[in-house]
Structure 1
Amino acid sequence: MKPDKHERFARLKEQAREQFYRSITQLGASRLSQCLKEAKTQEKGK
């Protein structure tokens, strides 16, 4: 395996990991805001 090919693969892996974490954090944030909205509506309903 050529070193430049290995470097490219490592870079791709790093980008994929960053994208993965970014999508997970976005999903978590949207899920969290949704939970907060539901909690607020439930409090208003009481």
Structure 2
Amino acid sequence: MAQLMEKRGEADYEFYSVITQKEAREAIKNVKVFKQTVEKSINILFGKV
């Protein structure tokens, strides 16, 4: 029984680590897009189009 629970824990851990990697990639992508948007806004404000 303990072994079964241990295996289940490992599977859960792998599952969650895959999810967090995916979320991390999404977050990085969002930050890049946000940064580009901010830079464009600043350029428009200061007339550097």
TM-score of the two chains, using structure 2 as the length reference: 0.69
Report percent identity of matched pairs. 22
Aligned pair count?
Answer: 41
Q: Whose RCO is larger (CA < 8 A, sep 6+)? A: 2
Highest Rg: 1 or 2?
A: 2
Counterpart of 1:7 in structure 2 is 2
| Aligned residues: CA RMSD | 1.1
Which consecutive unaligned segments of at least 5 residues does structure 2 have?
A: 42-49
Which consecutive unaligned segments of at least 5 residues does structure 1 have?
A: 1-5
